[in-house]
């Protein structure tokens, strides 16, 4: 539905340009007279829509629950229909009809607004859940990568320590072999003195095999929707009729 303010401004300007007197209208050409029908009809329709919304506002501010503090009562009217009649110059029956249309338009717009807010809240909750799932998956991926990196570093350190121990043991055995050969040559009749203690091999803790890091599966954006307690919104069944009347395509 077009913005009422913009449409009123545009059509009012078109109607005002037609003239401000009978003489001005009499000077219009036939084509201009035919073209003027559209803006004038639109202005009447838009004015009626604005009047209905005003009547609906008067009804809301004069509802029975407010008693004598209601808008109509505070201005000396027994009910909102009389106030609308006084404001518009319509008959009481016509004012009552305008009031009913205004109330229906107000209820329809409020119901549609609540429905839109409920949809927005649901979309926001879904987006929040998706973002949380993506963040959790990313955190799990980082944690797995860090754990695998730490395990690989520990395994590498254990292998390096084992190599150093093996090298020291080999050096000790080579020195002992040389010492035994020299002693046998110099003192063939004497037993070989005790050697320095053999370097003890450090007992390396068992290293668990490092499993290869498998590719992370694609993150599914389909996450369970959280249960959101939404207020039930019932849009009046007359809503399409209200929009059609306001748009000037139904009478």
Domain residue limits, the chain: 4-123+235-247
- The answer to whether 112 and 235 are in contact (CB under 8 A) is yes
Structure confidence at residue 210 (pLDDT): 47
Those residues whose C-beta lies under 8 Å from the C-beta of residue 18, and which sit 6 or more positions away, are: 24, 25, 28, 32, 36, 39, 40
* Model pLDDT for residues 37-96, shown as the tens digit of each residue: 999 999 999 999 999 999 999 999 999 999 999 999 999 999 999 999 999 999 999 999
**For the chain, percent of residues with pLDDT exceeding 70:** 78
Report residue 21 as tokens: 């007197």
Q: What is the pLDDT of residue 249?
A: 53
Tokens describing residue 117: 């807010």
Q: What HEC string does the chain produce?
A: CCCHHHHHHHHHHHHHCCCCCHHHHHCCCHHHHHHHHHHHHHHHHHHHHHHHHHHHHHHHHCCHHHHHHCHHHHCCCCCHHHHHHHHHCCCHHHHHHHHHHHHHHHHHHHHHHHHHHHHHHHHHHHHHHHHHHHHHHHHHHHHHHHHHHHHHHHHHHHHHHHHHHHHHHHHHHHHHHHHHHHHHHHCCCCCCCCCCCCCCCCCCCCCCCCCCCCCCCCCCCCCCCCCCCCCCCCCCCCHHHHHHHHHCCCC
* Alpha carbons 56 and 104: distance in angstroms, whole number: 8
* Confidence grade of residue 215 (pLDDT, cut at 50, 70, 90): low
Q: Is the pLDDT of residue 214 over 60?
A: no
- The 10s digit of each residue's pLDDT in 131-185 is 999 999 999 999 999 999 999 999 999 999 989 988 988 888 888 888 888 888 8
> How far is it, in rounded angstroms, from Cα 86 to Cα 81?
9
Q: Look up the pTM and report it.
A: 0.54
CA distances from 120 to 35, 109, 110, 116, 127 (A): 43, 16, 15, 6, 10
What per-residue confidence (pLDDT) applies to 22?
A: 92
Q: Contact, 223 vs 133, CB < 8 A?
A: yes
């Amino acid at each position: 539905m077009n913005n009422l303010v913009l449409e009123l401004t545009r059509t009012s300007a078109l109607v005002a340009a037609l003239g401000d007197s009978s003489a001005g209208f009499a000077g219009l050409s036939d084509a201009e007279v035919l073209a003027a029908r559209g803006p004038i009809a639109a202005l009447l329709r838009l004015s009626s829509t604005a009047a209905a919304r005003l009547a609906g506002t008067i009804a809301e501010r004069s509802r029975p629950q407010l008693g004598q503090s209601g808008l109509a009562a505070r201005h000396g009217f027994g009910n909102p229909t009389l106030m609308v009649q006084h404001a518009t110059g319509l008959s009481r029956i016509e004012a009552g009809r305008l009031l009913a249309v205004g109330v229906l338009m107000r209820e329809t717009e409020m119901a549609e607004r609540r429905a839109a807010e409920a949809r927005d809240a649901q979309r926001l909750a879904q987006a929040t859940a998706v973002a949380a799932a993506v963040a959790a998956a990313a955190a799990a991926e980082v944690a797995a990568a860090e754990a695998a990196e730490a395990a690989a570093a520990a395994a590498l350190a254990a292998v390096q320590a084992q190599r150093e121990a093996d090298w020291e043991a080999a050096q000790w055995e080579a020195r002992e072999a040389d010492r035994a050969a020299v002693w046998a040559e110099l003192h063939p009749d004497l037993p070989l003195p005790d050697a320095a203690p053999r370097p003890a091999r450090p007992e390396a803790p068992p290293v668990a095999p490092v499993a290869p890091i498998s590719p992370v599966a694609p993150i599914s954006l389909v996450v369970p929707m959280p249960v959101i307690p939404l207020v039930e919104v019932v849009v009046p069944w007359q809503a399409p009729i209200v929009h059609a009347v306001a748009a000037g395509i139904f009478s």
